[in-house]
Structure 1
């Protein structure tokens, strides 16, 4: 069912290769600036697809399925690009900060697997308010880190991005544990 909210979700998935292409060359600051603008637009579609689906009573199974996938692949792709693209040591996420990025990626994989398992036995795990804050910190962090690639001379942007990355990682651990605790109750 291709409603406006579902089209907005699909637009994030379709825009992802362009976002990755813009992040491919970390020495290309204009590319990172364009990636930041695109990333912000993708974040807005994330907000509006959910808002419109609820406001219009158009929540669909397709939307419930696609929205978290779009979020997770966007976050994973951006983290990988910020870690893996190197040019004269210009990777954005390096050193100890890789741990925060890894925590976020591993939790996303684990929670996806847990949701799939629980869905198979007809158990729904609602998204908590804390998980929404985790997502907010992730989105702000990655946006700031992309912007830091566009404006490397402004060190405070990267520091804000790394600080919020760690905040997201802490919330990731807490919410991941919450999901696991609920899931363990339904395992034999």
Structure 2
């Protein structure tokens, strides 16, 4: 875990290029949601797919830029996973009933829980870093939506099957990483003598 300082909220920290890319990713969410509002045409679904792919690429790019330019910030470590969760959650909800509602509920429930935990941790001045398992969960979700979003006649069933399989993988990894995050926060809060609720 990383301690969040007042300097992390400075204008310089908030406006680094990696963080600007994170803001851009957040800005694509209403665009994608609008394109997927039923009844959406095949063109709208495919356009949403393109916008989603661009947004996902910014997730990869902001991390690379932050490390290479030495502009990794604590606020970036807080906002980056939040942007990911908002994007994934919004798209999954819009894909109901193409994706089973209860599966979306389990995935979104996990994301809400971890976002709540991150908020509590931030209130104590702590940043919960994404674990390797959590990053693999995110990769699985991203791949799932890459297969579920496009409207391509003739192979739609196959794409949906592959996408749903990746969602199941992300579900397992998601709850395993969630347990890890909760335990790490509990241990850190206890070590610092802070309340864990």
Length-normalised TM-score, structure 2: 0.82
Structure 1: gaps spanning 5 or more residues: 84-90
In the TM superposition, residue 27 of structure 1 has moved relative to its aligned partner by 4.4
Relative to structure 1, is the Cα distance of residues 21 and 124 closer, same or farther in structure 2, using a 3 angstrom cutoff? closer
Partner of 1:136 in structure 2?
139
TM superposition shift of 1:113? 1.3
Question: 1:94-146 deviations in whole A, cap 9, x for unaligned?
Answer: 2xxx3332222111111111122223233443211111100000111112111
Contact 1:101 1:169 in 2 (8 A): no
Quote the residue 2:166 is aligned against. Answer: 164
Q: 1:166: how far off?
A: 0.6
> Bigger shift: 55-64 or 12-21?
55-64
Is 2:132 aligned against 1:153? no
Q: Is the 8 A contact 1:103 1:173 kept in 2?
A: no
Q: Does the C-alpha gap of structure 1 residues 45 and 160 become closer, same or farther in structure 2, counting only changes over 3 Å?
A: same
User: How does the TM-score come out when normalised to structure 1?
Assistant: 0.86
| Bigger shift: residues 31-40 or 5-14 | 5-14
**2:118 corresponds to 1:112:** no
Distance of aligned partners of 1:4 and 1:138 in 2 relative to their CA distance in 1, 3 Å threshold: same
Computed over aligned residues only, the root mean square deviation of the Cα atoms, in angstroms, reads: 1.7
SS at 1:151 equivalent: coil
Distance 1:71 1:119, change over 3 A: same
Describe the superposition over 1:33-71 as per-residue Cα deviations: whole angstroms up to 9, x where unpaired. 111111111100010011101110112344233212211
Tell me if 1:37 matches 2:50. Answer: yes
Which residue number corresponds to residue 17 of structure 1? 30
Structure 2: stretches of 5+ with no match in the other structure? 1-11, 190-195
Aligned to 2:103: 100
Moved more, 163-172 or 114-123: 114-123
Residue 9 of structure 1 deviates from its aligned partner by 1.1
